Amino acid sequence: MQPMNTQAPVVKVPEITLGFWVVKIAATTLGETAGDAVSMSLGLGYLAATGLFAAFLVAAVIAQIRARRFNAWLYWTAIIATTTVGTTLADFADRSLGIGYSGGTLILLALLLATLFFWYRTLGTVSISSVSSARSEFFYWATVTFSQTLGTALGDWTADTAGLGYTGGIAVFVGLLTITALAYRWTRISHTLLFWAAFVLTRPLGAVLGDLLDKPISDGGLELSRIGASAALMVFILACVALLPQRAASTQH
């Protein structure tokens, strides 16, 4: 008789804690400032910057998928890669291609929902506790990338097209995240659904936070150095990853 394989599946995404959300918001804010720094401050343009960050993203995701166990440094490197490429890709589509914030938001929302749909149809769940195989990781990182790109377009649409400005946009997304957290605590709405809602909403929050930091004072920003703000955010993220508890998510649903 062959011995039974009792080895549990290895989940390579982190447990969802308050620390996770702190680092996620900081990473999405970094994605905005770093994306703008490379595409605008360094003069590469949106397309070249997107190509550069896309190569970084592919390398980071391959390393993440090939890892044998959860590695917090690898995971957050991949997250930062998705949020930087999301910034420049959304800006390229919205501005260079002339799609506009509203059009870009709708297209990216459709791509995000389609990815979640095919993930669910293929594996029967979109819970992070199931991210324990190369196939599930592929769906996970595709979903993350689309959500990060959508968040950039949605944040810009809220602040600019809707006319709420950066502080107004921050208030809107903080409010929506608060409602999501209350629903997680006090309702029976699917925790998986609420997780992805919060995951998406943290990206436009980071987008408007990043814009508040580096946009001109005449536009309602603080006009800080994009490179300086990005460096400060990176130091903060490194400190959080080093000091906050970082455990793999449970395989239990």
Residue 251's pLDDT band (cuts 50, 70, 90): low
Domain tally, the chain: 1
- Would 154 be classed as within a structural domain? yes
Q: If you average pLDDT over residues 201-215, what whole number do you get?
A: 91
Is residue 9 in a domain? no
On average, the pLDDT of the chain sits at 89
- What residue numbers bound the domain in which 72 lies? 18-243
- Listed in sequence order, the residues at least 6 apart from 182 whose beta carbon sits closer than 8 Å to its beta carbon are none
Q: What is the mean pLDDT of residues 218-223?
A: 83
Check residue 250 and report its DSSP letter. Answer: P
pLDDT number for residue 99 = 83
**8 assigned to some structural domain:** no
In the block, residue with structure tokens 């709708």: 106
pLDDT of residue 156: 85
50-58 long-range contacts (CB < 8 A, ≥24 apart) are 50/85, 50/88, 50/89, 50/92, 53/81, 53/84, 53/85, 53/88, 54/85, 54/89, 56/81, 56/84, 56/85, 57/81, 57/82, 57/84, 57/85, 57/145
Residue 214 counted as domain residue:
yes
67 or 10, greater pLDDT: 67
pLDDT of residue 253: 44
User: What is the predicted pLDDT for the residue at 7?
Assistant: 54
Q: What is the pLDDT of residue 146?
A: 92
Residue 7 counted as domain residue: no
Residue 10 within any structural domain of the chain: no
Percentage above 90 pLDDT, the chain: 64
Positive or negative, the CA dihedral 180, 184, 185, 190 is: positive
232 part of a folded domain: yes
pLDDT tens per residue, range 20-75: 999 999 999 999 999 999 998 898 999 999 999 999 999 999 999 999 889 999 99
Q: In this predicted structure, what is the pLDDT of residue 53?
A: 94
**pLDDT tens for each residue of 147-178:** 999 888 888 889 888 889 999 999 999 999 99
pLDDT tens-place string over residues 127-137: 988 888 889 99
- pLDDT the model gives residue 4: 45
In this prediction, residues 101-121 reach a mean pLDDT of 90
* pLDDT over 90 (residue 93): no
Q: Is residue 1 part of a domain?
A: no
